[in-house]
Amino acid sequence: MKNISTAKPVSVDELEKLLNENLNPLFHNQRKSDVSFDIVKEDNTIEIINTEFYDGFLFQIEIEGNQIHVIKSEHYTDDVNVLTLEEILNGLFLEFPGRRNIKNIEDES
């Protein structure tokens, strides 16, 4: 799990919008693939899924005030699509909420 601490509260709706606008186009550009992912928001949680190729979520993002918790599915850790998604998400997390607003990033095993 990756924990991102921010200087101010994070909006799950704004993060969902950013992911909907950017995740698939960035993935298609980087992987040159037609595979797309669904971004599903429920309460303060966003899941990135693709039910055609994968069971369950690939990434689950939980927002708790000034904390963003990113959980990567343990079932697909070496999958090239998931690794590409992870790289894209890392870049988007620097964009949202912005580098200046990130206080700390921790990777937990």
Residues 72-94: what's their mean pLDDT? Answer: 92
Predicted confidence band of residue 78 (pLDDT cuts 50, 70, 90):
confident
Residues 67-96: what's their mean pLDDT? Answer: 92
pLDDT at residue 107 tops 80: yes
What letter does residue 42 receive in the DSSP assignment?
E
pTM for the complete prediction? 0.91
User: Does the domain at residues 2-107 carry the CATH identifier 3.30.310?
Assistant: yes
Give pLDDT, residue 18.
Answer: 94
| Counts of helices then strands in the chain (DSSP H, E) | 2, 6
